[in-house]
Amino acid sequence: ETGVTQSPTHLIKTRGQQVTLRCSSQSGHNTVSWYQQALGQGPQFIFQYYREEENGRGNFPPRFSGLQFPNYSSELNVNALELDDSALYLCASSKGLAGGDTQYFGPGTRLTVL
Amino acid sequence: AQSVTQLGSHVSVSEGALVLLRCNYSSSVPPYLFWYVQYPNQGLQLLLKYTSAATLVKGINGFEAEFKKSETSFHLTKPSAHMSDAAEYFCAVSTIIQGAQKLVFGQGTRLTINP
């Protein structure tokens, strides 16, 4: 069983640029969630995708957007990058939307904005 | 709103000693609670979760946690620390927002093991 994978591992961008991060969900999972983890902090929920639709969003501006594809893989797009966007971006997949469902995390993409 | 508080941003124990990492939750409904571990430069790995089936939950690597409703706590323990346990530990509560299952994490506790 293949786990959650993310690409790229590391990324360096400059302020104002746009970035796309990718995530492949675990086999059998139809739900993908994205989290931002700033240095020294716990992960913060960005949004969740279920069957190709965004079905919940945290306190992040519209310049954070995403997609989910028919194979349940997902992309996170961030426009107009700001210095504070520097963080580890984590993708997690799960089997559904129930409160007790386990979210399985990928290794993350480390984004640095200069 | 549901939240968790992890008491102690850093915990240091000797190898072979008891590990106790504290987590208190706030929830208006019966909670689903999780403990995750994060090794340096890696993602989060599930240690264990509470879904109301049993108050004492056993997880991987010898860890366990006890759900105490009266104390709104879900502390993580391990009887004997190993050097490989050195990592960041996160407690999280699951909440449903706009139909999405969202994990709300604590600030994390960094565990250091002294030889």
- B3-38 tens-digit pLDDT: 999 999 999 999 999 999 999 999 888 889 999 999
Neighbours of A22 (CB within 10 A): 17
Pick from A7, A73, A45: which is nearest to B104 by CA?
A: A45
Tell whether A28 lies on the interface with B, counting CB pairs under 8 A: no
Give the pair of three-digit tokens for residue B73: 């706590």
Q: Are B50 and B32 in contact (CB under 8 A)?
A: yes
Lowest mean pLDDT among A99-103, B55-59, B62-66: A99-103
User: How high is the pLDDT of residue A1?
Assistant: 59
Q: Is the pLDDT score of A83 beyond 80? A: yes
Mean pLDDT of B65-83: 96
C-alpha B76/C-alpha B111 separation (Å) is: 12
Question: What confidence tens digit (pLDDT) does each residue in B78-101 have?
Answer: 999 999 999 999 999 998 888 888
Report DSSP letters for A50-114, one per residue: ETTEEEEE-S--TTEEEEE-TTS-EEEEE-S--GGG-EEEEEEEES-S-TTPPPEE---EEEEE-
Q: Is the pLDDT score of B53 beyond 80? A: no
Pick from A56, A98, A94: which is nearest to B100 by CA?
A: A56
Interface test with A, best of B102, B107, B109, B110 (most A CBs within 10 A): B102
Q: Which of A57, A99, A107 sits opposite B42 (nearest CB)?
A: A107
User: How high is the pLDDT of residue B88?
Assistant: 97
C-alpha A112/C-alpha A45 separation (Å) is: 19
Residue A74 vs residue A97, higher pLDDT: A74
- Which residues in chain A are closer than 8 Å to B41, comparing Cβ atoms? 110
Kindly state the DSSP code that residue B98 receives in the 8-state scheme.
Answer: T
Residue B40 vs residue A84, higher pLDDT: A84
User: How high is the pLDDT of residue A31?
Assistant: 94
- Which residues in chain B are closer than 8 Å to A92, comparing Cβ atoms? 44, 103
| Parallel, antiparallel or unpaired: strands B3-7 and B19-26 | antiparallel
C-alpha A30/C-alpha A96 separation (Å) is: 7
Mean pLDDT of B51-66: 92
Residue of A nearest to B105 (CA): A42
Mean pLDDT of A1-29: 94
Q: Which of A31, A56, A101 sits opposite B97 (nearest CB)?
A: A56
User: How high is the pLDDT of residue B98?
Assistant: 83
C-alpha B12/C-alpha A12 separation (Å) is: 34
Mean pLDDT score of chain A: 94
User: How high is the pLDDT of residue B39?
Assistant: 94
C-alpha A43/C-alpha A36 separation (Å) is: 5
Mean pLDDT of A78-103: 93
Q: Is the pLDDT score of A99 beyond 90? A: no
Would you place residue A90 in the very low, low, confident or very high pLDDT band (cuts 50, 70, 90)? very high
Kindly state the DSSP code that residue B62 receives in the 8-state scheme.
Answer: G
- Which residues in chain B are closer than 8 Å to A38, comparing Cβ atoms? none
C-alpha A42/C-alpha B91 separation (Å) is: 9
Would you place residue B102 in the very low, low, confident or very high pLDDT band (cuts 50, 70, 90)? very high
Q: Is the pLDDT score of B42 beyond 90? A: no
Tell whether B44 lies on the interface with A, counting CB pairs under 8 A: yes
Residue of A nearest to B103 (CA): A45
Give the pair of three-digit tokens for residue B18: 């008891």
Q: Which amino acid is at A15?
A: R
Please provide residue A48's backbone torsions phi and psi, each rounded to the nearest 5 degrees.
Answer: -135, 145
